[in-house]
Structure 1
Amino acid sequence: MTAFTSVRRTALGALTIIAGAILVVAPAQAQNYPITPHQRATAQQVSERGVPLSELAPNAPDTYTVQRGDTLWGISGMYLKRPWRWPELWGMNLEAIRNPHLIFPGQTLYLDKNGGYARLRTTPPGAAADGQTVRVSPRTRTDSLADTALPTLKTHLIEPFLVEPLVVDADELRRAPRIVATTEERVLMASGDRAYVRGDAASPLRAEAGAPRFFRVFRDAVALKDPVSGEILGYEAQYLGKAELVRGESLEETDDGKGGRVAEYVPATVALSAAKEEIRAGDRLLPAPGRAFVSYTPRAPGIEVDARVVSIYGSSAVAYAAQNQVIAINKGAQDGIEPGQVLSVRTNGSRIKDSTDEAKATIKLPSESNGTAMVFRTFDRVSYVLLLEIRNGVRVGDRLVNPE
């Protein structure tokens, strides 16, 4: 597409909104991505009603022109007291929802208040939606307008964590192929270096058709303990970088010095890249996961949630997590936790001595609401959560519950 001055609202691909769901899909697949019965029901509700006026933020603007750098969460927070209810606010008609559409910079949103309810539209209230023209900034280069679609959140905050944190059981890393040596006998390795790797005796690292070729490098599986029960929920491995298999493990025939031949073991060779830290002998390799579609539909959980913060990702020396940081909680997929669920963060009320009491009795202060967070990656018993809006630091043991 070249030099856009206007486009019709169509299924352009990339990040698409289907009744509030944000789906990472390829352009050719956008129009055919299935809409679930739940999304269809939400679309019907959106078309018919919207959200009560009491749910609107005090200073919700009547019109807003989408800017570069905006996120759907940010815009929803501008309009709503509870941003996760945006599927109900996004008052697109059913035809628009049937054909997935985009919200992108340059588009003007109109707040329609009618009958005690409010909806957001892309046309002024009362105007027909058919044939709508959306104005965007002129372009002088070839580009896909889909690339400018708004993400749910600021993507750079969570993209690294979609591949970096890895929760494994006690034996998984121990069985994984390990780096045994380096070229030029280096102690530490970085991007661009080659390393030699030895697999498990039962599953050697082979360069065969269908076998993994791309790997991620990990170290030091740290136990994740439930702060309530003390039970170990899993082990969090430290992500170090990437590795590509250059040559598999093999046996080579060499001269035994007595006129005969002997088969000697030769480890696999890998090329290291994208190293976040220096890599050394003993670090482990696990196959890189395939690039999957990620669907985030921010919403309140349909189950009762009472979770605790297990750890602050990235540094054991940090006592408090701030806004836009990632934490791990003690609930996972087997507990009904799903990506996109929005949770309310509550402080763990401290215990203090009552200085006004002659007996100096110990009392527990109440837990207080401390902000909002969203689940974006789950394992069986552990989930990773992005802190969206935090008033005070979050620490291990703090609670995450259903949003109010």
Structure 2
Amino acid sequence: MKNIITRGFALALVLTAGMAIGAQPLELAPNAPDRYTVVKGDTLWDISGRFLSKPWRWPEIWELNREQIRNPHLIYPGDIVVLDRSGASPRLRLSRLVGSGGSGADASGLPVERRQPQTRVEMLERDPVPTIDSTAIEPFLNRPLIVGEKELAANPRIVATQDGRVYLGRGDLAYARGIADDTVREWHVYRQAKPLLDPDTRKPIAWEALFVGSARLEKSGDPATLRITSMTEEIGVGDRLMPSEPPKPFSYVPRPPAGEVDGRILAVYRGVTQIGRNNVVAVNAGGGAGVEPGNVLAIHQRGRLVVDRETKEQLRLPDEAVGHLLVFRVFDNISYGLIMDASQSISVGDVVTNP
């Protein structure tokens, strides 16, 4: 099946009132090209970084409205991104070379290829450019991450293993109690959830589930029989089950939050202490604080406490900017983000704010 697309030479999008960051001018990246041809493997973040020193200001230079930000399937391999410097503020446009026509130059000397609107035929399977390389976050898009305290007791649990083994591997059988709906065939296996603590009060604000594998229901009953289909760690008695969710694609344009965000990094997935690029972290600002998938947050290393030797006063040094994260999954009180860049090691407790 084919998709018929009718488009002109340039794609211009209209900025919704209130979407701009403010009076701050857009800052182009050093040696920003006049045009760039999109290739397979590019991401929206990569492309915007070629033109902007701050890639998260992507919606402004493209003049995207809110709906296009939520569904930015606009760019495909082979498209040509053109930097328009003719106005008061730089703008990006898409140029697609279809058909034939003359060529020349605009007032700024930038080559212009004149084309008439034409019909372009494309195969539907051609994939648009994603926001980021999804390999780093795919495991987190449809797996259990945050569970409620009451859910812990209600979820099915593994009560026995094949041949009484201590741990199970791929292809082994597990026996579980509590599976009431035998129409659900695919299950996630997770380790007993650990609390995520508020950095100041040290009280739990959410419970994080550690994904350890997947299983398929083979025979219903009490106990039910499941076969382990994949694993990241050994699976054993006491591990819990959650129904598998369908994949949730991540296709949001990188952008700052609409409101002010002031949070902290609570944890890094799988518990390492030093955090760097491509690590996944949890922060204590979620949907209740206005955080949305696609939001970019600046990371600041929290200033150390020092003592003024003369006055004996205890002072906290200023926070220092150390990197950025991109939010990809949001719960009420918690968000998960991917570290996009880091000038030095990032730690649990560091501050996250608007970029």
Give me the TM-score of the superposition, normalised by structure 1. 0.72
1:391 aligns with 2:347: no
Of structures 1 and 2, the larger Rg is shown by: 1
1:120 aligns with 2:92: yes
Q: Which has the higher helix share?
A: 1
* Secondary structure class of the residue paired with 1:219: strand
Q: Which amino acid aligns with 1:235?
A: W
Match of 1:15 in 2: none
1:325 aligns with 2:305: no
Shift of the 180–88 alpha-carbon distance from structure 1 to 2, 3 Å rule, reads same
Shift of the 353–132 alpha-carbon distance from structure 1 to 2, 3 Å rule, reads farther
Q: Which amino acid aligns with 1:342?
A: V
Match of 2:101 in 1: none
1:167 aligns with 2:146: yes
Match of 1:381 in 2: 333
1:277 to 224, 228, 233: 233
Shift of the 84–9 alpha-carbon distance from structure 1 to 2, 3 Å rule, reads farther
Conserved in 2, the CA contact under 8 Å of 1:240 and 1:279?
yes
* Secondary structure class of the residue paired with 2:41: coil
Deviation at 1:171, TM superposition (A): 2.6
1:310 aligns with 2:266: yes
* Secondary structure class of the residue paired with 2:15: helix
The separation in 1 between residues aligned to 2:202 and 2:155, in whole angstroms, is 27
* Secondary structure class of the residue paired with 2:149: coil
Deviation at 1:227, TM superposition (A): 0.3
Which 10-residue stretch deviates more, 225-234 or 360-369? 360-369
Match of 2:304 in 1: 350
2:163 to 184, 197, 221: 184
1:205 aligns with 2:161: no
Match of 2:107 in 1: none
- Aligned ranges 1:351-370 → 2 under 5 Å: 351-353=305-307, 357=309, 362-370=314-322
2:50 to 53, 72, 78: 78
Conserved in 2, the CA contact under 8 Å of 1:245 and 1:268?
yes
1:267 aligns with 2:219: no
The separation in 2 between residues aligned to 1:129 and 1:196, in whole angstroms, is 65
Deviation at 1:144, TM superposition (A): 5.5
Per-residue CA distance 1:1-36 (angstroms, 9 max, x = gap) = 89xxxx98669xxxxxx99xxxxxxxxxxxxxxxxx
Conserved in 1, the CA contact under 8 Å of 2:217 and 2:225?
yes
Q: Which amino acid aligns with 2:15?
A: T
1:241 aligns with 2:213: yes
Shift of the 227–130 alpha-carbon distance from structure 1 to 2, 3 Å rule, reads farther
Deviation at 1:369, TM superposition (A): 1.4
Per-residue CA distance 1:307-362 (angstroms, 9 max, x = gap) = 111111112xx2221011111011111222111111111110112356xx467765
Shift of the 73–271 alpha-carbon distance from structure 1 to 2, 3 Å rule, reads same
* Secondary structure class of the residue paired with 2:340: strand
Which 10-residue stretch deviates more, 299-308 or 169-178? 169-178
1:57 aligns with 2:32: no
The separation in 2 between residues aligned to 1:65 and 1:133, in whole angstroms, is 20
Conserved in 1, the CA contact under 8 Å of 2:26 and 2:61?
no
Conserved in 2, the CA contact under 8 Å of 1:110 and 1:125?
no
Match of 1:257 in 2: none
* Secondary structure class of the residue paired with 1:174: helix
Shift of the 206–358 alpha-carbon distance from structure 1 to 2, 3 Å rule, reads closer
Q: Which amino acid aligns with 1:150?
A: V
Shift of the 172–52 alpha-carbon distance from structure 1 to 2, 3 Å rule, reads closer
Deviation at 1:271, TM superposition (A): 1.3
* Secondary structure class of the residue paired with 1:87: helix
Match of 1:33 in 2: none
In structure 2, runs of 5+ residues without a counterpart are 96-109
Match of 1:131 in 2: 117
CA RMSD across the alignment: 3.5
**How many residues are treated as equivalent by the alignment?**
332
Which 10-residue stretch deviates more, 284-293 or 302-311? 284-293
Shift of the 125–228 alpha-carbon distance from structure 1 to 2, 3 Å rule, reads farther
Per-residue CA distance 1:52-87 (angstroms, 9 max, x = gap) = 975322321112222333211111012112222223
Shift of the 186–100 alpha-carbon distance from structure 1 to 2, 3 Å rule, reads closer
Conserved in 2, the CA contact under 8 Å of 1:9 and 1:101?
no
Deviation at 1:178, TM superposition (A): 0.9
The separation in 2 between residues aligned to 1:52 and 1:194, in whole angstroms, is 59
Q: Which amino acid aligns with 2:117?
A: G
Q: Which amino acid aligns with 1:131?
A: P
* Secondary structure class of the residue paired with 1:78: helix
Deviation at 1:375, TM superposition (A): 0.9
Deviation at 1:400, TM superposition (A): 0.7
Q: Which amino acid aligns with 2:281?
A: I
The separation in 2 between residues aligned to 1:299 and 1:65, in whole angstroms, is 23
